[in-house]
Amino acid sequence: WKLSYIRLLFPVIADLLNIFEVFLPQLLLYPNPSDPLNGDAASLMMKDRKQYDQKVKAEYCERYAKKEDITKSAADKETDDEDDITDEDTGSSDDEIAGHADP
């Protein structure tokens, strides 16, 4: 059944890859100001492209795309992975903690 399951999932995975690798980068590189989600940004983009580019770099990149945030996030992920403790690590199991069920 695994092969049929993979065949069913492949179009979904291919669609997700298409969205993240093609569609979103194109949308970010070539925004459509005539159909905006952010009307103020679209208006500024159509009126003064240089000012729009400066605003995006100064405000949005500074707020949402800091290099420190990316490295901090990666460090947090490593810490989270180290915090995962298994039963083998502690030498205990759920049965020992809760006791055995009555017959």
pLDDT in tens for each of the 103 residues of the chain?
Answer: 566 766 777 788 788 888 888 888 888 888 888 888 889 999 999 999 999 999 988 888 888 887 787 777 666 766 655 555 554 555 555 555 555 555 5
Task: Please state, in angstroms and rounded to a whole number, the distance separating the CA atoms of residues 65 and 58.
Answer: 11
pTM of the entire predicted model: 0.47
The CB density around residue 56, as the number of other CB atoms within 10 Å, is 15
Task: Please state, in angstroms and rounded to a whole number, the distance separating the CA atoms of residues 79 and 83.
Answer: 6
Nearest to 61 by CA among 27, 26, 19, 28: 28
**Tokens 């992975």 found at:** 81
